[in-house]
Structure 1
Amino acid sequence: AVFNVNRKPDIPRISIDALAEKYKLPDLRPALLDFFSQWSNDPLFHSIGGRRGTHTNARLPFTNVIVWYSVRIQTYSLDDKSVTSPRRLNATPPCDSWPFGRYDTALFAHSNVDPALSPDVGLAGYDISQIRLILHLIWDREVPDAPSYLVYAQRFNIIPQLTSIPPTHAAIPNPVTGLYLVKRALRADKSRIGDIIPLSHCRVPIQLVPRFGAKADARITSRNSMEWSREFFLNTYFDKDIFQYLRGSRL
């Protein structure tokens, strides 16, 4: 995948604590500390989840960051290997028109050396995630080879479905809709599971559609559905490449 951000950032300079308050991300600093702890051990592997580490007196090698409200991504088509048209992934903080913020979803690879998406690979090794923040670090001191473009993303878990042979639950598409059913991943205290991950691990945009059930909540709109809905379908029909990939994928 290839990424492009605007030459002029939406926030040219902001402190970590001010950014956490603006984006309503109280665990942003711990997430950054966890990321650099993981990166020092294995710079190629990053997944979203796991327990927060203990970082007594730990300091980040930067104080301020640059922020963009969106990034454009281009990938290779699974169909004919051509380059796809640019797609925008939004990570806009709460504002008057988007009171809960505007955050798009994508697949993120755990490893930066994972093979390209294909039905043979499946969803194993990937996180279904919502991008909540796009940032570039302003280093206080040089950190050799450290990634500068990062995102804070929150993970969704696949809800296991009942299989007939043998009768058990497995991470497969819903038998009625043919779509994966997902829900937000939560920690023990019911807070959302989110982590810092390099932007380069983003593989492809995806679309999550709220599962309304027998009766839809009349308060749900296009601007709050991602916050108020509890379960979502991973839309296989979002585009032809996603369709070709997900129609044959299994965990």
Structure 2
Amino acid sequence: MTVADASVKYGLPDLFFDLSRFLAQHHGCSTLVPSDMLQIWQKTLHAIAPSTVNPHSQYDSVILSAKPQSDWPKCGLVGHSVVQLHITFRPPHSDFFAVYIQHFNVVLQSNPANVSLVTGMHMLKWAVRANGQRNGEVVPLTFVRSPAHLIPNFGPKAHPCLTKLSSYELSSEFWLNKYWSKEFYYALSPM
């Protein structure tokens, strides 16, 4: 699939710009053109574009390290972030894999552990630019550390169009579910 086609199919208008910037910064290559081909893997972690059957797509969330070496899960979220994975691909003319991700911000809580006193979980919100567009970028696949399970926070009134297929795209706040697995629980629980 071409970079231009992937940008349209996955609803990522900044894909070309973000991929060009990534290649220039990390690999000294800036000769990307919209017709360059990407090899895309949709099902390693779910990164399935919108379709007529599912207009809201299906993307998995993951824990991402900001650097190649990581001490996940030993230090919890310190030095890590939660992101939604949109495409896993091999850039043109390269021998490495990359991912296009969109960021979440951790909502500050009124306690030192920065978790909800009721749920014991971190609250997340989409990271957005000034124009309201979600903040995304291209990073090496090696920065992905773990799958993450998010639970939409519906608030006092849920969006009327929510379904099991649309809840992630129509919600703006999420709980990072530390109860999802034993390893995840220990990684996100203060010692």
Q: Distance in 1 between matches of 2:160 and 2:38?
A: 39
Moved beyond 3 Å, runs of 4+:
none
Higher strand share: 1
Task: Give the corresponding residue for 1:5.
Answer: none
Task: Give the corresponding residue for 1:138.
Answer: 92
Q: Distance in 2 between matches of 1:125 and 1:38?
A: 21
Conserved 8 A contact 1:159-1:171: no
Go from structure 1 to structure 2 and tell me whether the alpha carbon gap of 1:125 and 1:37 turns closer, same or farther (over 3 Å shift): farther
Match of 1:129 among 83, 103, 116: 83
Conserved 8 A contact 2:113-2:190: no
Q: CA deviation at 1:100?
A: 1.4
Task: Give the corresponding residue for 1:49.
Answer: none
Matched residue SS, 1:70: coil
Q: Distance in 1 between matches of 2:70 and 2:181?
A: 22
Aligned Cα RMSD in Å? 1.9
Matched residue SS, 2:36: strand
Go from structure 1 to structure 2 and tell me whether the alpha carbon gap of 1:211 and 1:116 turns closer, same or farther (over 3 Å shift): closer
TM-score, normalization by structure 2: 0.91
Q: Distance in 1 between matches of 2:106 and 2:147?
A: 17
TM-score, normalization by structure 1: 0.70
Q: Distance in 1 between matches of 2:146 and 2:152?
A: 20
Alignment of 1:35 with 2:22, yes or no, is: yes
The correspondence of residues 83-162 of structure 1 with structure 2, limited to 5 A, is: 89-118=45-74, 121-139=75-93, 148-162=96-110
Aligned residue pairs total: 189
Q: CA deviation at 1:204?
A: 0.6
Q: CA deviation at 1:18?
A: 1.2
Task: Give the corresponding residue for 1:60.
Answer: 32
Unaligned stretches of 5+ in structure 2? Answer: none
Conserved 8 A contact 1:130-1:154: yes
Q: CA deviation at 1:64?
A: 1.1
Q: CA deviation at 1:138?
A: 3.1
Matched residue SS, 2:90: strand
Q: Distance in 2 between matches of 1:197 and 1:107?
A: 13
Task: Give the corresponding residue for 2:167.
Answer: 225
One-letter amino acid of the structure 2 residue matched with residue 158 of structure 1 = V
Q: CA deviation at 1:215?
A: 2.6
Matched residue SS, 2:37: strand
